[in-house]
């Protein structure tokens, strides 16, 4: 089907596109604050699985797209996704060996740091949030990580030749 060298970029790009769609897909307002940080989850996975292909730079560019999509300050999500990618990249060898709940824990810490940063940025620019609205998604994201991981691993094994 696809030439070998095209398979990885195409798969990664499509998975990120799906994450972007899930980020803005309309939800009833009570479910809005339960929405996981889809893009962060997908970025975390790709840096963990293929750090040579998907590095901090790509995570940063993805973040700029999120900023344009959600109307946030340009650079806010670029920064937070770069932090996620850095953490995943720094410890990817260890994290791959760890059990899932430990990956979830690391991811939760990274997302918590990001939530605090986004909370501050929101405060400075006048988009004050109730703290819970920022921190519930962190818990949800960490809880669904094992399933996201399993799904994306199947996608990778199916579409990207090792």
Partner 1 sequence: MRFAREHRLFHASSRRRTLLGAILIMAAIVLMGVDHQYQALNHLRSALMAVVYPVQWLVNMPGAIGRKLAGDLATRHALLERNAQLEQALIQARVATARMSALKRENSRLRLLLNAVGQMPGRVVATSILSVDMSPFQNLVTINAGHNMGVHTGQPVIDAGGVVGQITHVGPLQSQIMLITDPASATPVEIERTGLATIAIGTGQLNVLSLPYLPNNTDIKAGDKLIASGFGGRYPRGYPVAVVTSVTPQTGDPFAKVEARPLASIGREHEVMLYFSSHPQPSGGQQ
Q: Which residues bind partner 1 (CB under 8 A)?
A: 17, 20-21, 24-26, 29, 32-33, 51, 55-57, 60, 63-65, 67-76, 78-79, 82-83, 85-86, 89-90, 121-122, 124-130, 133-134
Q: How many residues does the chain have?
A: 162
- The least CB distance from residue 145 to partner 1, in Å, is 21
Number of Cβ within 10 Å of residue 143's Cβ equals 12
- The least CB distance from residue 142 to partner 1, in Å, is 19
The alpha carbon dihedral of 130, 84, 140, 69 has a sign of positive
Which CB, 60 or 145, lies closer to partner 1?
A: 60
Which CB, 69 or 146, lies closer to partner 1?
A: 69
Which CB, 96 or 157, lies closer to partner 1?
A: 96
Using a 10 angstrom Cβ sphere, with 0-12 exposed, 13-18 middle and 19 or more buried, the burial of residue 33 is: middle
- The least CB distance from residue 41 to partner 1, in Å, is 17
Residue keyed to tokens 């700029």: 64
Tell me how far apart the alpha carbons of residues 142 and 26 are, in angstroms, rounded to a whole number.
Answer: 22
């Amino acid at each position: 089907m696809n030439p070998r060298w095209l398979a990885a970029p195409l798969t990664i790009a499509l998975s990120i596109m799906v994450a972007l769609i899930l980020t803005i897909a309309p939800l009833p307002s009570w479910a809005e604050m339960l929405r996981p940080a889809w893009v962060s989850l997908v970025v975390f996975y790709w840096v963990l699985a293929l750090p040579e292909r998907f590095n901090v730079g790509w995570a940063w560019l993805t973040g700029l797209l999120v900023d344009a999509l959600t109307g946030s300050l340009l650079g806010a999500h670029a920064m937070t996704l770069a932090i996620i990618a850095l953490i995943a990249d720094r410890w990817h060898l260890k994290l791959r060996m760890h059990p899932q709940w430990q990956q979830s824990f690391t991811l939760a810490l990274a997302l918590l740091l990001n939530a605090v940063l986004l909370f501050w940025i929101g405060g400075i620019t006048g988009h004050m949030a109730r703290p819970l609205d920022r921190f519930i998604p962190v818990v949800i994201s960490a809880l669904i990580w094992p399933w996201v991981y399993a799904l994306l691993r199947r996608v990778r094994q199916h579409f990207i030749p090792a």
